[in-house]
Amino acid sequence: MIQQHENSRQYFQNIKGATRNRHVGFYGHIKIITAYLDKILETYHYGMEKFGDFCHNRPKDVITIQEQNMSDVEKQETSETRRDFLYLTAGAMGAVGAATAVWPFVDSMNPAKDTLAVAETEVNIAGVEVGQAITVIWRGKPVFIRHRTPAEIEEARSVDVSTLRDQETDAARVKKPEWLVMVGVCTHLGCVPLGNKSGQPKGEYNGWFCPCHGSHYDESGRIRKGPAPTNLAVPPYEFLSDAVIRIG
């Protein structure tokens, strides 16, 4: 019995050390916890097989008066209650152990500090002339910022929204009519459309063109032709001043 106890204690210490190892992985932690619970139940059943119900194996002089007055049925019910308590205790310990084991996995899914540091990007647009466009990087993605001409604004607003695949008005996509801010990633397969640099093709609708599969976007970044299912996405942004935009 002493050797069995020592083996069990060493086993539980090994389990405790393993659950703290971040390199084990999620499914590895699940296997460890399952093995932990199996060992608890194995130890319990070993004790029951070796010694039986402790209540019936204790010397009579340590059995309480209340137990002496209990019938066999009541003693059996008490034994079952104690057994249920042990199972519940083992389950509770397993739940706590599982939560402890899973937490490193959950915590590893949180954004890294360097990712959080670039969650917002401030852009100075004072030098962007009318008709020009620039590309900035936000969260690893290109963002197109175009200073639209009055003609481009008028053309974008004159489109019949009911004819569009992804129906959005131009006013719903901008905060200031002259400034258009969009994520420069084609909504078909994630390519970067052309048209944000001088000399690049802008497609049939004077906006952006993705040469990979022929998606055409208009002056508001709305899909007009090709396989792309939706318009170019508009990121969260705000004007800190007339010359500075904060994206994110």
Which residues are tagged catalytic? 213
Contact 232, 224 (CB under 8 A): no
Nearest-CA neighbor of 123 among 2, 35, 242? 242
